[in-house]
């Protein structure tokens, strides 16, 4: 048998999906698996947003522009005005999901061996995209015990080397739920300018910020026209994760022209999803007002249930819809697998994402899991019943007296 490549053999395994075969086996045994492992909410997509498809594609479905269809680019820029962002369609290009946006951006700003600074914990698949691109992640650790503070500027400064090309953040942060303050963004702005770096900000969750917190897009920072690149996605915004439509925005149009070279190789982003996105972005804001209210309720449900558990530690999310939780367990990979292979409570179990994948520092996240609170209240309650029971029966329980709620 011909040998596979070394790189594929060592490719990062996505923590959201690596245990899916175990989940399928559990379902085959008759266990109901409640999926809190992936950010796929069960809310309705906006009404009427699929209507355009039959109108747009009467005859055939052609290749589109490599950078995305102009009507979509324009409607996305129009939509951004609600965040105080003024952008022209030439400053925004469409990708096959935020995943492709991140990968193409990495390929365009960094060569193999170059470094990207990323505060930990971070969206796990950054690990995989950096690995594919041969780019090193230099991570800045922040602890759940301290409530995931954003590392201070000195820590970023210290992490910069001659091979550093960018700082990469998600704001609001997946998985920590932190929202970057304007002050913090301004300090980072100053830093990237002084060191001539890119500032990549993944803003896929910008609609989801809870009371008392405020989202500021990196595209509103002034004097950073050459440095700021914003990654975005239709997925979470409109409960349409499967359309695979994302975007890269930057006032550095030279960068976008270069990214377009990769885009041209794969010809065009998916057209049907682009039609959906064009329509969805034009709908009134009420849709998101309701989504935010519903997420606030789900967040309250899950926090209330976590507060009833002992030896569990979390920081209440300020944005997005994830909770990173420290549990009294030996190993989150083992625990998440065990939930699917050996555990059930009243015929049900819960699928979670193990915490290790969200760190680059080895050993970190070993007693942490990510919970996506993306289902309606009853399902969340059932899932938390399972978790509560699992935390009394899991053979690898490890009590740590230092645990307390923050």
Closest distance of CB 243 from a second copy, Å: 5
Three-state DSSP state, 323: strand
The answer to whether 309 and 323 are in contact (CB under 8 A) is no
Q: Name which of 333, 300, 221, 259 is nearest 100 in CA terms.
A: 259
With respect to a second copy, which residue has the nearer C-beta, 91 or 367? 91
Q: Name which of 157, 162, 110 is nearest 136 in CA terms.
A: 110
With respect to a second copy, which residue has the nearer C-beta, 8 or 28? 8
Task: Dump strand ranges (E) for 67-163.
Answer: 92-95, 115-119, 136-140
Closest distance of CB 211 from a second copy, Å: 25
Cα–Cα distances (Å) from 133 to 103, 106, 301, 340, in that order, read 7, 7, 40, 33
With respect to a second copy, which residue has the nearer C-beta, 3 or 183? 3
Closest distance of CB 391 from a second copy, Å: 28
Residue 263: in which H helix or E strand, if any? helix 253-265
With respect to a second copy, which residue has the nearer C-beta, 269 or 355? 269
Closest distance of CB 236 from a second copy, Å: 11
Pairing between β-strand 228-233 and β-strand 246-249 as defined by DSSP bridges: antiparallel
Closest distance of CB 192 from a second copy, Å: 8
Cα–Cα distances (Å) from 51 to 274, 278, 285, in that order, read 12, 11, 19
Tell which phi-psi region holds residue 346, choosing left (phi > 0), alpha (psi between -120 and 50) or beta: left
Closest distance of CB 227 from a second copy, Å: 6
Closest distance of CB 14 from a second copy, Å: 4
Closest distance of CB 395 from a second copy, Å: 28
With respect to a second copy, which residue has the nearer C-beta, 16 or 373? 16
With respect to a second copy, which residue has the nearer C-beta, 175 or 328? 175
d(Cα 252, Cα 249) in Å, to the nearest integer?
9
With respect to a second copy, which residue has the nearer C-beta, 99 or 220? 99
Cα–Cα distances (Å) from 53 to 71, 233, 270, 273, in that order, read 14, 19, 12, 9
With respect to a second copy, which residue has the nearer C-beta, 102 or 150? 102
d(Cα 44, Cα 125) in Å, to the nearest integer?
26
Tell which phi-psi region holds residue 267, choosing left (phi > 0), alpha (psi between -120 and 50) or beta: left
Q: Name which of 88, 226, 251, 246 is nearest 166 in CA terms.
A: 226
With respect to a second copy, which residue has the nearer C-beta, 176 or 239? 239
With respect to a second copy, which residue has the nearer C-beta, 43 or 403? 43
d(Cα 120, Cα 332) in Å, to the nearest integer?
17
Closest distance of CB 20 from a second copy, Å: 8
Three-state DSSP state, 350: strand
With respect to a second copy, which residue has the nearer C-beta, 115 or 367? 115
d(Cα 237, Cα 39) in Å, to the nearest integer?
11
Closest distance of CB 345 from a second copy, Å: 25
Closest distance of CB 55 from a second copy, Å: 11
Tell which phi-psi region holds residue 320, choosing left (phi > 0), alpha (psi between -120 and 50) or beta: left
d(Cα 406, Cα 404) in Å, to the nearest integer?
6
């Amino acid at each position: 048998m011909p040998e596979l490549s070394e790189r594929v053999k060592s490719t990062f395994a996505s923590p959201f999906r690596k245990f899916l075969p175990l989940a399928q086996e559990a379902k085959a045994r008759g266990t109901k698996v409640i999926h809190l492992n992936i950010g796929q909410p069960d809310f309705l997509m906006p009404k009427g947003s699929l209507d355009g498809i039959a109108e747009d594609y009467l005859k055939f479905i052609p290749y589109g522009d490599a950078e995305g269809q102009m009507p979509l680019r324009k409607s996305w820029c129009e939509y951004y005005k609600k965040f105080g962002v003024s952008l022209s369609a030439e400053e925004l290009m469409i990708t096959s999901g935020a995943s492709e946006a991140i990968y193409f951006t990495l390929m365009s700003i960094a060569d193999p061996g170059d470094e990207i600074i990323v505060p930990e914990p971070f969206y796990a698949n950054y690990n995989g995209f950096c690995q594919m691109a041969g780019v090193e992640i230099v991570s800045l650790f922040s602890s759940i015990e301290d409530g995931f503070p954003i590392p201070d500027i000195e820590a970023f400064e210290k992490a910069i080397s001659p091979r550093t090309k960018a700082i990469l953040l998600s704001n609001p942060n997946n998985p920590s739920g932190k929202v970057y303050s304007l002050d913090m963004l301004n300090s980072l702005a100053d830093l990237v300018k002084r060191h001539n770096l890119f500032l990549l900000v993944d803003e896929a969750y910008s609609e989801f910020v809870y009371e008392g917190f405020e989202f500021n897009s990196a595209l509103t920072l002034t004097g950073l026209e050459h440095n700021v690149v914003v990654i975005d996605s239709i997925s979470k915004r409109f409960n349409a994760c499967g359309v695979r439509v994302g975007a890269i925005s930057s006032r550095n149009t030279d960068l976008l022209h270069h990214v377009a070279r990769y885009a041209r190789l794969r010809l065009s982003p998916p057209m049907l999803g682009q039609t959906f996105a064009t329509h969805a972005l034009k709908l009134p804001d009420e849709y998101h007002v309701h989504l935010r209210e519903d997420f606030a309720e789900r967040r309250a449900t899950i926090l209330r249930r976590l507060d009833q558990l002992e030896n569990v530690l979390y920081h209440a999310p300020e944005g997005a819809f994830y909770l990173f939780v420290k549990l009294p367990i030996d190993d989150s990979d083992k625990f998440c697998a065990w939930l699917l292979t050996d555990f059930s409570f009243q015929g049900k179990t819960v699928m979670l994402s193990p915490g290790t994948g969200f760190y680059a520092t080895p050993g970190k996240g070993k007693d942490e899991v990510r919970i996506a609170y993306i289902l309606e209240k009853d399902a969340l309650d059932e899932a938390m019943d399972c978790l509560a029971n699992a935390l009394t029966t899991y053979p690898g329980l490890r009590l740590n007296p230092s645990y307390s709620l923050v």
